[in-house]
């Protein structure tokens, strides 16, 4: 599923017709050509009826879901993008809104798509009851993608919790392009760590220098992790640092990246949302766009944003 512009090695894709983009996102000429004016464009976001091909627990916290869609979603879905899942209504759970969920993987067949999720609330509890062979509607693909230049040499990925699922496709793409990876994985304990699920391919495992930190031994604490991340970035040149899923890690990386101004930093953000398409304005977060504080929609201008632009503490006055 490598999609590379003939004129550029930047593999990223803007939303089909969004005028806005994250404030420090690469300039338009570095991105793949946007589709023509939307009044003539065929629908690019659709509800896909899917069949559950596989669905099982990965460990005590996470579940794996593999779907077969009614369209070649693996071809049109890019790392960092997400879908809205119409979780089933069960005897005890009645989710009303769709649930945004980042894509864990696509392919090898053009119509298969994978999700990795944590059972936390009404929607995911209902989702967890889906049997293999059942149907599930998903809406997408939605959102923007990570920036990745295949000419780069080494990137760092800092993952915690379910953020791992969001970055797994990015890791696969980086590995396929032969980039070296510094992988920092943070988890509550060894049992929660999903090293194999994150690296997935032999290629990624061969290219990755993996560092695991845990809450159980204190190594994941900000005070312990900060010097370790600094040492890793000082020891080897990195072209980009990516993260997702932990506000604490995001803020830590923002501080660490201050002394590495040439390293690209990107985060896939999370926020409670309703429409997933940029309409309802419920999922906004605050960003510093060249000194101008702006609310941007996580579903539309994101979910991937420059780490440096994120405003940590929001004061609504």
Asked if 46 interacts with other proteins (CB under 8 A), we say: yes
Asked if 98 interacts with other proteins (CB under 8 A), we say: yes
**C-alpha triplet 215, 218, 221: angle, nearest 5°:** 80
Q: Dihedral through CA 25, CA 220, CA 165, CA 208, nearest 10?
A: 80
Nearer to other proteins, 277 or 307 (CB): 277
**From its phi and psi, is residue 291 left (phi > 0), alpha (psi between -120 and 50) or beta?**
left
Dihedral sign computed on CA atoms, order 158, 265, 205, 167 = positive
Q: Is 164 helix (H, G, I), strand (E, B) or coil?
A: helix
Asked if 95 interacts with other proteins (CB under 8 A), we say: yes
Interaction pattern, residues 107-146, with other proteins; x per rule: CB under 8 A: ---------------x----------------x-------
Asked if 38 interacts with other proteins (CB under 8 A), we say: yes
Angstrom distance (rounded) from CA 287 to CA 83: 23
CA atoms within 13 A on the CB side of 200: 18
Nearest to 128 by CA among 64, 47, 193, 60: 64
Closest distance to other proteins from the beta carbon of 159 (Å): 24
Closest distance to other proteins from the beta carbon of 278 (Å): 5
Asked if 300 interacts with other proteins (CB under 8 A), we say: yes
Nearest to 149 by CA among 190, 177, 117: 177
Asked if omega into 310 is within 30° of 0 (cis), the reply is: no
Asked if 97 interacts with other proteins (CB under 8 A), we say: yes
**Residue of 28, 71, 75, 94 interacting with other proteins (CB under 8 A):** 94
Asked if 289 interacts with other proteins (CB under 8 A), we say: no
Asked if 39 interacts with other proteins (CB under 8 A), we say: yes
**Residue of 13, 31, 63, 86 interacting with other proteins (CB under 8 A):** 86
Asked if 45 interacts with other proteins (CB under 8 A), we say: yes
Nearer to other proteins, 75 or 279 (CB): 279
Asked if 231 interacts with other proteins (CB under 8 A), we say: no
Stretch touching other proteins by CB under 8 A, among 37-45, 110-118, 245-253, 256-264: 37-45
User: Is residue 139 a contact partner of residue 46, using CB atoms and an 8 Å limit?
Assistant: yes
Stretch touching other proteins by CB under 8 A, among 193-201, 208-216, 238-246, 272-280: 272-280
Asked if 78 interacts with other proteins (CB under 8 A), we say: no
Q: Dihedral through CA 77, CA 80, CA 85, CA 90, nearest 10?
A: 130
Asked if 85 interacts with other proteins (CB under 8 A), we say: no
Q: Beta strand 135-142 with 112-118: parallel, antiparallel or unpaired?
A: unpaired
User: Is residue 309 a contact partner of residue 293, using CB atoms and an 8 Å limit?
Assistant: no
Asked if 275 interacts with other proteins (CB under 8 A), we say: yes
How many chain residues interact with other proteins (CB under 8 A)?
40
Residue 311 CB: number of other CB atoms within 10 A? 14
Give the pair of three-digit tokens for residue 267. Answer: 């985060």
Torsion angles phi and psi, residue 278, rounded to 5: 90, 10
Nearer to other proteins, 119 or 176 (CB): 119
Nearer to other proteins, 1 or 46 (CB): 46
Asked if 279 interacts with other proteins (CB under 8 A), we say: yes
Residue ranges that bind other proteins, judged by CB under 8 A: 16-19, 37-39, 41, 43-47, 86, 94-98, 122, 139, 271-285, 295, 300, 314, 316
């Amino acid at each position: 599923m490598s999609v590379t512009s003939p004129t550029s090695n930047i593999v990223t894709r803007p939303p089909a017709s969004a005028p806005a983009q994250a404030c420090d996102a690469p300039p338009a000429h570095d991105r793949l050509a946007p589709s023509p004016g939307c009044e003539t464009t065929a629908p690019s976001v659709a509800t896909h009826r899917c069949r559950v091909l596989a669905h099982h627990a990965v460990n005590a916290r996470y579940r794996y879901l593999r779907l077969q869609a009614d369209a070649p979603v693996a071809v049109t879905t890019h790392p960092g993008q997400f879908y809205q899942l119409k979780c089933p209504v069960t005897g005890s759970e009645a989710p009303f809104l769709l649930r945004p969920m980042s894509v864990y993987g696509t392919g090898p067949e053009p119509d298969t798509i994978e999700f990795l999720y944590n059972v936390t609330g009404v929607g995911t509890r209902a989702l967890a009851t889906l049997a293999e062979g059942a149907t599930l509607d998903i809406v997408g693909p939605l959102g923007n993608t990570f920036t990745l230049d295949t000419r780069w040499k080494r990137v760092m990925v800092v993952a915690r919790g379910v953020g791992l699922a969001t970055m797994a496709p990015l890791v696969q793409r980086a590995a396929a392009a032969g980039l070296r990876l510094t992988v920092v994985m943070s988890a509550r304990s060894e049992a929660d760590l999903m090293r194999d699920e994150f690296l997935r391919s032999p290629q990624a495992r061969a290219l990755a220098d993996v560092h695991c930190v845990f809450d159980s031994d204190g190594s994941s604490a900000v005070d312990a992790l900060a010097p370790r991340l600094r040492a890793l970035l000082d020891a080897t040149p990195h072209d980009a640092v990516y993260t997702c899923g932990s506000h604490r890690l995001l803020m830590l990386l923002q501080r660490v990246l201050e002394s590495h101004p040439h390293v690209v930093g990107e985060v896939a953000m999370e926020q409670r949302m309703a429409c997933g398409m940029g309409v309802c304005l419920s999922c906004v977060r605050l960003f510093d766009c060249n000194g101008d504080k702006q609310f941007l929609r996580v579903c539309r201008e994101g979910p991937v944003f420059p780490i440096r632009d994120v405003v940590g503490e929001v004061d609504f006055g």
